[in-house]
Structure 1
Amino acid sequence: MLNYPLFVLFRDDWNNEQFLFTDPIEIICARNEQEFHLAFMRLEEVRKQGKWLAGYLSYEAGFLFEKSLRHLVQDQQDVPLLCFGVFHNLSAPDHPLARPYLGQKTFFHNPQISWDFETYQQKFDQFHQNLCHGNCYQGNLTFPITAQWSGDPLRAFWSFTEHEPVRYGSFVSLQGPLILSRSPELFFHINDKKWIEARPMKGTMPRGANIAEDQKIIADLKKDAKNLSENRMIVDLLRNDLSRIAVAGTIKTPFLFEIESYTTVHQMVSSICGELTHDLPIKDIFSALFPCGSITGVPKIKSMEVLQKLENKSRGIYCGSIGFIAPSSIMRFSVSIRTISLFPDHQAIFNVGGAITYESTAQSEYEECLLKSKFAIGNITNHSP
C-alpha cells in the first residue's frame, strides 16, 4: 500500500468544486456495536467544539439503528462500521492534494464477478418469491466484483474525474481501506436554513451510441412503468423517513422523475425536502434515514433482512454513505454506490446491484449490474466465480 497521508477529498466534477480536509487531529472509528455508540457521542462532542467531520458509514452500520437487525452485524469487519476524521477547518484550495495528480497510472486487472448468471438467477428467484408473498415490494440485490489494483489510487481518482464526471465523488484515506467513490447520488444535504433534501436515484437505462439514440432512450425511460414504479416507491419511503425528523407539514417534492445522464447510463432522480427539526443530534438524523432507501428496498427493514440472507456477505462501504459535517451542522452525504475499496494486499472490491420489482426479469437485472461495473473496469462478460 502507498504511504498515503490522512485526508478526505470531496469533488463535484459538474461544477468544478471541491472540499479537502487534511491532517486530522483525531480519527473516530468503530468496528463493533459498543464502539459504534461511543463514536456517535464523540462525533457530537467535537462538532459542538467547532470542529469539522469528514468520513463514512458502512452499509452494515444500518443494522445497529434497528434493534431487530443488530444480530446481523459482525465485529471487526474489513471496513469499519464508521470512520470520521476530525479537522480544524477546510484545507486551502491550492493544496497539492486538491489539484489534478499525475502519479503512477493506476489500473484494475483480472476482474472476478462473484456471481455468474446462474447464481444470480437463483438469488433473484428467491427474492422474487418474497415479492410474490408480499414480504417486500422492491429490493436492491447486490454482489461484489473483485480485482487486483496497481499504481497510484489518487491518480485514478483524477482520471475518473476527467472521464466519468459525477457530482459526489470522494477519496477517503483514513483507517480501513482507501476508498475511491464515484457516486452520482445525493443521500441528503442539510443547509444553513436547517432544510434537508434527499435525491434518490432509481431507474436506469444505458447510454445510446449518439444523440438521437440518447434522446429516444431518455424518452423511453421517462415513461417506463417499471422504472417509474421503482422511483415512486423509494420517494414514498424517503418521504416517510424524512417525516421522522422534519417539521410536520413541510415535506415537499420539488421534482419527480428527472433524468440525469452519465458516461455509461441515464438515471432517474427525484427530490424530497423538508424543514429539519432544530438541534437534532447527528445520531438521530442517521437513525431516521440510514441507509438510504434507494439501496435497500421497500419496506426498508424487511428488505434489509431478506437481502442480507441472500447476499451472505458484508457490503462494507458500498451502499453506505460518505460525507462531511460542518460546525454549523451543515451536512452533505452521498450514497456510496460506484465505490471501490482498495486494500493493502492490492485487492480492489466494489459491488454492483439493482432494484428488483415484481416486473423485473433476472436477465435484464443482471445485465444492468454489469453495465454499472463499466465505470471501473469497462466491458466484462458473464464470468464464473
Structure 2
Amino acid sequence: MQIRFDHGPDGNAAVFARPRQIIEASRIADVPAALLALDAARDAGKWLAGFASYELGYALEPRLEALMPKGCRLPLLRFGVYDTPPNEAGDLPLTDVTLNDLLPDWREQDYAAAFQTVHDYIGAGDIYQANLTFPLRMRARGGAQALYAALSRVQPVRFGALIQAKGLPAILSRSPELFFRTDAQGQIETRPMKGTQPRSDDPVEDAQYRTFLATDEKNRAENLMIVDLLRNDISRICTPGSVRVPELFKVESYETVHQMTSLVVGQMQAGKGMSDIFRALFPCGSITGAPKLRAMEILAELEPSPRDIYCGSIGWAAPDGRSEFNVAIRTLMLDGECATLNVGGGVVYDSTAALEYEEALWKARFASRLVSGRG
C-alpha cells in the first residue's frame, strides 16, 4: 500500500510506502482488535497512514451494527505501519487524462423522493439535518496517478491524498475538509464544513456568492447544528471546560465552490489514543446530520449503495501524538477505468429538493472540468 499526501507531517508533499505491517478490519468483529493495534503501534514508536471507510461508523456503535450493507468495495479500515516518517513525494506524471459520462445514480426525481422522506423525518422531529448523498459513475482514462495530478491542478486543496493498494480500487481524494488534527501536546481540532455556494468567472457575481454564503441564515443555521454536534463529540475525549469554538462561519474559497467552515478545539484527556478519537468522532458529523445516530439510520434506509471511502477519512499519525485526517469528500474510487464519485449535502427543514440537488452537482465540478480532456 502506498499513500501520497499533498501536505504531509512537515507540510510538504509526502509518500508512505512499503509498510512493515498492515492493520485491517473488514468485518465488525475485526474492528476492536484493529483499533487496539493502531494504539499499540504508535505506543511502540511507529508511524501510521491509512483510511477508514464511512461504514466503520456502523461498527463503532452497537445500535448501528445491523445497518452494515453488503457489497462494500473497501475494508472498514486499513492502515500501514511504518518505522520512519514518510519520504518526500516526487512529481506525478503529466499525461493526458479524461473523464467521460458522468452519470448520477439518482436523477432529480429520484433525489426528490428521498429528499421528501428526509424532510418528513425532520418535520416529525426525528432529526434536525441529514446529509443526503448519491454516487456518480464515470469512465476514466489515463491511470490513477495521472488522473490525480490532473485533479490536483483543477482543485488545489489542503487535505488531498492518493492511495494505491493491490487488490483495492485506487482512492483519489481532493478533500478541502479537515476531520481532526492533533499536536504533540494533546490539543485536538476539527473544522466542520457545511454551507456551499458556486464560484463564478465574473468577479462581481463571485463576490456576491461569497457574501451571500457568509450572511445567509439558512447556511449559518446548518453550520451551527454541526458545530454543536462536533462540540459534543469532541468533549467526550477532552478535559472539561477545554472545548472552544475560536472560528465560526468562516468562508473559504476553492476553485469551483465557496464553503463555510468553523473551528472546534479542545485539550484531550491524558492517555487518549487513536482508538478513542475514532470512537468519539467517527464519522464526522458534517457528513451525517444531527442527531448523528438517527441521521445515519435514515440515510442507510435511503441511500442506494455503500459510501465506502466517501465521507470516511484518510490520514496519518506520528508516534509523538501528532496526526491529521481529512473528511473524504470530493473523493473518487477508481477501479480500472470505472470511477465513482459521491456528492451530497445537508438537508434541513427549509431546504428545497431542487436547490439541494443542484448544490450536490456543484460539488462534482472539479471532476467535470476534465470531461473535455482539458486537465
Report the TM range for the smaller structure's normalisation. Answer: over 0.9
CA contact (8 A) 1:83 1:174 kept: no
Tell me the equivalent position of 1:72: 67
- Superposition pairs of residues 93-112 of structure 1, within 5 angstroms: 93=88, 98-102=89-93, 104-112=95-103
CA contact (8 A) 2:134 2:304 kept: no
TM-score (norm 1): 0.92
Any runs of at least 4 consecutive aligned residues in structure 1 with deviations exceeding 6 A, and if so which? Answer: none
Q: CA deviation at 1:223?
A: 1.1
Aligned length: 369
- Superposition pairs of residues 346-357 of structure 1, within 5 angstroms: 346-357=337-348
CA distance in 1, matches of 2:69, 2:294: 19
CA distance in 2, matches of 1:167, 1:74: 31
**Residues 1:89 and 2:84 are matched in the alignment:** yes
- Per-residue displacement from partner, 1:8-66 (whole Å, max 9, x unpaired)? 111149x9722321111112221111222221122222222211110100000001111
Q: 1:133 aligns with which of 124, 129, 144?
A: 124
Tell me the equivalent position of 1:203: 195
Q: Which region of structure 1 is more displaced relative to structure 2, 360-369 or 41-50?
A: 41-50
**Residues 1:272 and 2:267 are matched in the alignment:** no
- Per-residue displacement from partner, 1:151-204 (whole Å, max 9, x unpaired)? 121122222222211000000113521100000000000011110000000000
CA distance in 2, matches of 1:215, 1:16: 30
Equivalent position SS for 2:87: coil
**Residues 1:327 and 2:339 are matched in the alignment:** no
- Superposition pairs of residues 211-250 of structure 1, within 5 angstroms: 211-250=203-242
Tell me the equivalent position of 1:256: 248
Tell me the equivalent position of 1:306: 298
Q: CA deviation at 1:76?
A: 6.7
Q: 2:4 aligns with which of 9, 20, 23?
A: 9
Q: CA deviation at 1:104?
A: 4.0
Amino acid of the structure 2 residue aligned with 1:161: S
- Per-residue displacement from partner, 1:217-238 (whole Å, max 9, x unpaired)? 2111111111001100000000
- Identity in percent: 42
Tell me the equivalent position of 1:3: none
Question: CA RMSD of the aligned region, Å?
Answer: 1.7
Amino acid of the structure 2 residue aligned with 1:72: L
Tell me the equivalent position of 1:359: 350
Q: CA deviation at 1:75?
A: 6.1
CA distance in 2, matches of 1:75, 1:207: 38
Q: CA deviation at 1:103?
A: 5.4
Tell me the equivalent position of 1:35: 30
CA contact (8 A) 2:179 2:284 kept: yes
Q: CA deviation at 1:377?
A: 2.0
Tell me the equivalent position of 1:285: 277
Amino acid of the structure 1 residue aligned with 2:341: F
CA distance in 2, matches of 1:74, 1:223: 39
Q: CA deviation at 1:298?
A: 0.5
CA distance in 2, matches of 1:204, 1:84: 32
TM-score (norm 2): 0.95
- Per-residue displacement from partner, 1:244-296 (whole Å, max 9, x unpaired)? 00000011111100110011100001000000111113211101000000000
Is there any run of 5+ residues in structure 1 with no aligned partner, and where?
1-5, 381-385
Tell me the equivalent position of 1:52: 47
CA contact (8 A) 1:103 1:152 kept: no
Q: 2:142 aligns with which of 126, 151, 162?
A: 151
